[in-house]
């Protein structure tokens, strides 16, 4: 059992650092990467959203699908989501705008999608800072309250994505498929937390499990 847990833990850590390494190599050490700064910004943003979604999936996957090893890694997955978000923000401030705050201020002021991304990032920063065990002990009940912000961060990140693509969100015309996929997953992960839905899905799982057991009772 212990070995199995270590195995999934390894997948999470290698997956996260490996992804970061691959994104750097693919964008900055690849002669076919023509617009590396913009592409790296897009890639790290997507990676942040994916890790955030995996982190959000931890609790329902643990309770509904009974994959406890996955649930145990939700904190690590969330911290990696923040890591990619931080690299994403750093790429914007440094690689893209060379820390020239005169321009950065103007861009942030005039760019609607950045408002949503920035709000998500500030909340994620609060969660990352308080992600240590000691903080959890210190904050007691408030820790859980604060970390429910993840339910706000994920929709904000999806809106951020929707507003970047050349599309019309209301009529679903244009480049909507990718943000729509992430948006649907986030929506599902939030819906399965609603107690009656969650209970229904757990009952469904136990029903399926008992049916598959019936022909061959232990």
Partner 1 sequence: MDKDYQSLKIDRSEITPKSLYLSRRDFMRSAALAAGAVALAACAPGAAKSIDGSTAPTDPSNAYMDELGNPANSFQQTTNYNNYYEFTTNPQGVARLAANFPTSPWDVNVYGLVNNPKTFTVDELNQLFTPEERIYRMRCVEGWSLVIPWLGFPLSKLLEAVEPTSEATHVRFETVFAPDEMPGLKNLSYPWPYQEGLRLDEANNDLTILATGMYGGELPAQNGGGIRLVVPWKYGFKSAKALVKIELVDYQPDTLWNAIAPNEYGFYSNVNPNVDHPRWSQATERRIGDTDRRLTLMFNGYEDQVGYLYEGMDLKENY
Beta carbons of 158 and 57 less than 8 angstroms apart: no
Name which position in 8, 9, 11, 33 contacts partner 1 (CB under 8 A): 33
* 29 in contact with partner 1 (CB under 8 A): yes
Q: Give whichever of 7 and 103 is closer to partner 1, judged by the CB atom.
A: 103
Site residues for partner 1, 136-165, by CB under 8 A, read 163-165
Task: Select the residue interacting with partner 1 from 98, 144, 181, 187 (CB under 8 A).
Answer: 98
| Nearer of residues 39 and 59 to partner 1, judged by Cβ | 39
Neighbours of 47 (CB within 10 A): 22
Would you call 215 helix, strand, or coil by DSSP?
Answer: coil
Name the CA radius of gyration of the chain, rounded.
20
Instruction: Give the x-and-dash track for 53-92 against partner 1 (CB under 8 A).
Output: ---------------------------------xx--xx-
Q: What's the closest the beta carbon of residue 115 comes to partner 1, in angstroms? A: 10
User: Between vectors from CA 82 to CA 167 and to CA 142, what angle results, nearest 5°?
Assistant: 110
Nearest residue (CB) to partner 1, 1 versus 170: 170
The phi and psi torsions of 132 (rounded to 5 degrees) equal: -75, 150
Shorter beta-carbon distance to partner 1: residue 105 or 151? 105
* Residue pair 126/149 in contact by the 8 Å Cβ criterion: yes
HSE, side-chain direction, 13 A CA sphere, residue 200: 7
Return the H-helix or E-strand segment holding 174: strand 173-174
C-beta of 69 vs 96, nearer to partner 1 = 96
Q: How many CA atoms lie within 13 A of 216 on its CB side?
A: 2
3-state class (DSSP) for residue 167: strand
50 binds partner 1 (CB under 8 A): no
Select 61 or 167, whichever has its Cβ closest to partner 1. Answer: 167
Is 184 among the residues that bind partner 1 (CB under 8 A)?
no
Give me the count of residues in the chain: 218
Task: Give me the residues that bind partner 1 (CB under 8 A), please.
Answer: 20-21, 24, 27-29, 31-39, 86-87, 90-91, 94-100, 102-103, 106-107, 110-113, 163-168, 171-177
């Amino acid at each position: 059992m212990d070995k199995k847990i270590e195995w999934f833990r390894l997948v999470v850590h290698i997956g996260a650092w490996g992804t970061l390494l691959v994104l750097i190599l693919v964008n900055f050490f690849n002669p076919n990467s023509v617009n590396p700064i913009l592409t790296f910004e897009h890639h790290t943003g997507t990676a942040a959203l994916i890790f955030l979604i995996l982190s959000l999936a931890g609790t329902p996957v643990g309770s509904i699908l009974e994959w406890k090893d996955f649930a145990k890694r939700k904190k690590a997955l969330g911290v990696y989501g923040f890591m990619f978000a931080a690299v994403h923000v750093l790429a914007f401030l440094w690689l893209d705008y060379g820390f020239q705050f005169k321009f950065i201020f103007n861009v942030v002021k005039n760019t609607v999608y950045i408002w949503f991304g920035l709000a998500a990032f500030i909340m994620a920063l609060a969660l990352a800072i308080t992600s240590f065990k000691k903080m959890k002990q210190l904050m007691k009940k408030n820790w859980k309250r604060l970390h429910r912000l993840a339910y706000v961060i994920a929709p904000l990140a999806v809106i951020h994505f929707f507003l970047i693509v050349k599309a019309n969100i209301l009529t679903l015309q244009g480049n909507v498929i990718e943000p729509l996929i992430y948006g649907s997953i986030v929506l599902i992960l939030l819906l399965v937390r609603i107690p009656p839905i969650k209970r229904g899905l757990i009952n469904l799982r136990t029903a399926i499990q008992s049916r598959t057991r019936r022909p061959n009772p232990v």
